[in-house]
Structure 1
Amino acid sequence: MARHPFFSRRRAGALAHVSSLPSSHGIGDFGPKAREFVRFLADAGFGLWQILPLNPVNPGAGNSPYSSFSAFANNPLFVSPDDLVRDGILSVGDLRGERPCGGSRIDYGHVHAWKSSLLKLAFANVLPSLESESRFDAYRRENASWLDDFALFAALKEAHGGRSWLEWPAEIRDRCSKSLELWRERLALRVLFHMFAQFLADEQWRSLLEHCRAHGVSVLGDMPIYVSLDSADVWAHPLQFELNGELRPIRVAGAPPDYFSEKGQLWGNPLYDWSAMAKDGFSWWKARIVRNSGLYNLVRIDHFRGLAGYWAVPAGARDARGGEWLSGPGHEFLEAIGEAAPELAIVAEDLGEITPDVIELRDTFALPGMRVLHFAFSGDPVENPHIPHNHDRHSVVYTGTHDNTTSKDWFERELDHASRRRIRNYVGRTVEAKTVARELCRLAMASCAAICVLPVQDLLNLGSEGRMNTPALADGNWTWRFGSGDLGQETAAEFRDLAGVFGRLP
């Protein structure tokens, strides 16, 4: 299969989730500061912006963008209050309440309350004319396949105190059509509100995408392979998942024991019924990939190895040791989503335990994999795929990902003496904690990999305070933000020069 033309030339980009952008509303959003960040990327010679999943976050799951109520919905927390004022939906006076601070950490509880109150006020302001608004009406019709179920799910969840859909009354848990219609009528205003919130989020995001296009910046989105059990997706499409007669998972997702975890990893996501999905031509997945193709220029498939083979753990197990490897949907699946969104460029997240079947699947469909410099300086330099001299052109190189700490902190706290010596020998000069981020950025830029992506934390040379996610920790993740003046013209000029030296300018 031919490689996507996006990967035919060298490019540089930055990794920063929308939540991490500056704003005076407690969390990054799709508004003025996001546009300012896009202009910084253009000034820095970066033609790519990588983000994490845009889906709504679940406070009960640590506000992780990888544990959402929906694989299709946008995150209303990213709606810009400033742009609502600009568009006449809110007034300046509406923003004078007790807003969250603009500090370096997100207080999700405060942000949820603040943004919810603003969205409710915006909804009340437009309600008299909303259903006659042609753009909103068109949006509802074009997105009905997922929006109707999501909006009803969100309204029902509110009506039942935030409880999981598995704890709802049986008639709506089991989707009795008469009961659903009664509840849809009873909650009509709240259902309409959630549709409106999605409309605002998508309108603002698409406006930001146009700003990216105008400045020569493409957006690389992220698509988790699994969905949450407590999601509109599983509630609305139970036959697409491995569930028993009580709609509980039969087996759940995880990872087998390895060097880092003797008990393996128990993720707990419900597994897909790949046989059922194949019989209907992967219709749910096709709809999902089409939705993603409208949100991003490229998409990274998280845990790509699960498409070749996945670790299935019996539901109720205390850890992942009792799981087994099962075959994934492989070629048939990638052919189906490729037909649904032929223009979408895909990156395979191929980190971790990668077996020959994963490599064969990735290479058959000509998908670039990932190389991470934090993994480059251990093991055999002849065999290690992450060390620069072993990179291949059809790949994406990072200093680190959102699951890694910053390069400075990595050097200070995670590397042993031998690994530090390897880095110094590799670059041919003294490397210290205060200089390692720049050295790795330079190595990544110099790599033969077509795409180079640098976390903003490494552009800023941050330490542990800049870590976005620690996979072993359930709480305290996903809160990092950078400040309004942190990325200036001096930084842009430095990285533009670096991109020019290594042939990565747009």
Structure 2
Amino acid sequence: MPKESVLAKKSLGILMHPSCIPGGGGVCGTFGRGAKDWIKKLHRHGIEYWQFLPLTPTDCMGSPYSSPSSFALNPWFLDIDELINNGFIFISNKEELGPTNQNKDYFDFNVADALTKKLGYLLLQGWSSQPEETKLDFYKWISRNSWVEDYALFVVIKEEFNMLPWWEWPQEFKLKNNKFLKSWIKKKSEEILIKKLIQWHLDEQWSAIKNFAKSRDIKLIGDLPFYVSRDSSDVWSNRSLFSIFKNGDLIFQSGVPPDYFSSTGQLWGTPTYFWSKHKRTNFNWWRKRFQRQFELVDILRFDHFRGLAGYWRVNGSSKSAINGKWINSPGKTLLNKVKKDLGSNYLPIIAEDLGVITPDVIKLRNFFELPGMKILQFAFDGNEDNPYLPKNIKGENWVVYTGTHDNSTSVSWWEYLDYESKKRIKDEYKFSENPSWDLIEIGMNTNAYLFIAPMQDLLSLDDSSRLNKPGTTKNNWKWKLNRSLEEIEDNIKIFSELGSNFGRTRK
């Protein structure tokens, strides 16, 4: 009996993070009207998939790939209108809240932080007047989500010590001395309650969005990083699962070996997993992590999928990734357990299998019939065997992209391309003065079941609108649409109509 895949027919999607969406109640791109209006546009034009980045809180640089929690949702996305309309906060005028991101040309982390803090205090003020039924729902949710206690405590302690990483906290906090923390928690009960209330409301709001998307046949594609941040509630609360000493020093750290791009490889500074401990605990933490994600999304792009087959392990004290070692991962065992937990004939996972991929990774991906990824911007280096070349994309179980959140926009990719490469592409493909749409058309014309383009490419924007530049720490994760959805509807319509020519849009 042949295995099944999460993808079954030709279709289209758009990549855009909630922080980029205009409109909504306050912060911009919230879990409210803005997201629902976006889903309506996709539905109207027969586009079936919305992909976004991890919905988790970000690090201090705004990256959702280095989050203080694998389970929590980003407080910046709290929708103000819903809180007011349902009587959770009491204000006479939204202007009382101060500046928002709605009137800015980029997503301002400081504005979002300040607004979230105000909303938290307003939620606390309004809590005592909530009906008993509401409070019961809240406490039931807390009991079902064991991660909330550790996350709320972790964030409150972090704020107490000026956002220092947990390994720089005083000893009792660093070592999570539960006896000591018991009395401290009582003193900070209101601050901890605020964090829990915010997460509950975020969960309720996103659940409404997911149901809204389902009612309009839109599938949500989320994103799960393989590793978790060293400075996270996950590591602080579950030290035995990670290659980390009690004091926070790394025993082993993650990275990739030297390659064409880097003679010393890459050090990522996240702890690797103690897989033996995960096996002994029946992969409980990982299974809860997957369960949480599938509560939030329909399909999960698994970032650094190759880590489930094997990972590059480097000593914690090393300053480069040169002297590392490949270690096998029990990915097959774990994914079998996740599949059983889901009770499904297939795993709703897209394998991020970019870069140098070894046979064990391909074997694991194929065993579960997971769609892999193809990036068109990687295709045209003159190598006829390049796996990203459209003619080399064999079969249908793929997701093809012009680029991702980590790439240049297609306009800037073309601008930076050398003369020979441009000539080679023009000789083989119909290329006009708009490289974004040329690349989009090439992607739609492949056999791949799913084609996805970042919103920046639909709008033919250059790298001033790029979301992230790997290896840099400034001005990333800030881009947002500074036009209304009505103003960009023609671009979505053209994308849909072009997709219709290749049998990719829903009638």
TM-score when normalising by structure 1: 0.94
Does residue 421 in structure 1 map to residue 420 in structure 2?
no
Describe the superposition over 1:224-262 as per-residue Cα deviations: whole angstroms up to 9, x where unpaired.
Answer: 000111110011101101123534211111111111112
Describe the superposition over 1:310-338 as per-residue Cα deviations: whole angstroms up to 9, x where unpaired.
Answer: 11121132222222221122311221222
- Structure 1 stretch displaced more, 183-192 or 119-128: 119-128
- Structure 1 residues 110-189: aligned runs within 5 Å: 110-129=111-130, 133-143=135-145, 145-189=146-190
Report the equivalent of 2:379: 376
Tell me the secondary structure at the aligned position of residue 120 of structure 2. Answer: helix
Quote how far apart the aligned CAs of 1:4 are.
4.2
- Asked whether the 8 Å contact 1:308–1:361 carries over to 2, the reply is yes
Report the equivalent of 2:72: 73
Q: Separation in 2 of the partners of 1:473 and 1:376? A: 24
Report the equivalent of 1:403: 406
Q: CA 1:446/1:77 → structure 2, altered by over 3 Å: closer, same or farther?
A: same
Q: Separation in 2 of the partners of 1:21 and 1:291? A: 24
Q: Which amino acid aligns with 1:371?
A: K
- Structure 1 stretch displaced more, 337-346 or 264-273: 337-346
Tell me the secondary structure at the aligned position of residue 432 of structure 2. Answer: coil
Q: Which amino acid aligns with 1:229?
A: R
Q: Separation in 1 of the partners of 2:439 and 2:82? A: 37
Q: Which amino acid aligns with 1:78?
A: F
Q: Separation in 1 of the partners of 2:453 and 2:337? A: 32
Q: Separation in 2 of the partners of 1:92 and 1:422? A: 62
- Asked whether the 8 Å contact 2:3–2:369 carries over to 1, the reply is yes
Q: CA 1:484/1:130 → structure 2, altered by over 3 Å: closer, same or farther?
A: farther
The answer for unaligned runs of 5 or more in structure 2 is none
Report the equivalent of 1:257: 258
Q: Which amino acid aligns with 2:360?
A: D
Q: Which amino acid aligns with 1:221?
A: G
Tell me the secondary structure at the aligned position of residue 447 of structure 2. Answer: coil
Quote how far apart the aligned CAs of 1:26 are.
4.7
Q: Separation in 2 of the partners of 1:125 and 1:489? A: 39
- Asked whether the 8 Å contact 2:304–2:353 carries over to 1, the reply is yes
Report the equivalent of 2:204: 203
Describe the superposition over 1:167-214 as per-residue Cα deviations: whole angstroms up to 9, x where unpaired.
Answer: 223223222231232222222111111110001111111111111112
Q: Separation in 1 of the partners of 2:420 and 2:45? A: 34
Does residue 297 in structure 1 map to residue 298 in structure 2?
yes
Report the equivalent of 1:491: 491
- Asked whether the 8 Å contact 1:77–1:111 carries over to 2, the reply is yes
- Asked whether the 8 Å contact 1:43–1:492 carries over to 2, the reply is no
Q: Which amino acid aligns with 1:385?
A: P
Tell me the secondary structure at the aligned position of residue 193 of structure 1. Answer: helix
Q: Which amino acid aligns with 1:401?
A: T
Tell me the secondary structure at the aligned position of residue 396 of structure 1. Answer: strand
Q: CA 1:169/1:461 → structure 2, altered by over 3 Å: closer, same or farther?
A: same
- Structure 1 residues 35-434: aligned runs within 5 Å: 35-59=36-60, 62-90=61-89, 91-101=91-101, 102-129=103-130, 133-143=135-145, 145-343=146-344, 345-381=348-384, 383-391=385-393, 392-413=395-416, 415-427=417-429, 429-432=430-433
Q: Separation in 1 of the partners of 2:366 and 2:92? A: 53
Q: CA 1:92/1:449 → structure 2, altered by over 3 Å: closer, same or farther?
A: farther
Q: Separation in 1 of the partners of 2:231 and 2:300? A: 24
Quote how far apart the aligned CAs of 1:436 are.
0.8
Q: Which amino acid aligns with 1:424?
A: K
Report the equivalent of 1:466: 465
- Asked whether the 8 Å contact 2:120–2:195 carries over to 1, the reply is no
Q: Separation in 2 of the partners of 1:407 and 1:123? A: 46
Quote how far apart the aligned CAs of 1:3 are.
4.4
Report the equivalent of 1:22: 22
Number of residues of Structure 1 aligned to a counterpart in Structure 2: 498
- Asked whether the 8 Å contact 2:11–2:47 carries over to 1, the reply is yes
Percent identity between the two aligned chains? 37
Q: Which amino acid aligns with 2:163?
A: G
Q: Which amino acid aligns with 2:14?
A: A
Quote how far apart the aligned CAs of 1:81 are.
1.3
- Asked whether the 8 Å contact 1:289–1:341 carries over to 2, the reply is no
Describe the superposition over 1:138-174 as per-residue Cα deviations: whole angstroms up to 9, x where unpaired.
Answer: 211211x211111111122222222222122322322
- Asked whether the 8 Å contact 2:124–2:190 carries over to 1, the reply is no
Tell me the secondary structure at the aligned position of residue 400 of structure 2. Answer: strand
Q: Separation in 2 of the partners of 1:394 and 1:416? A: 31
Q: Which amino acid aligns with 1:338?
A: K
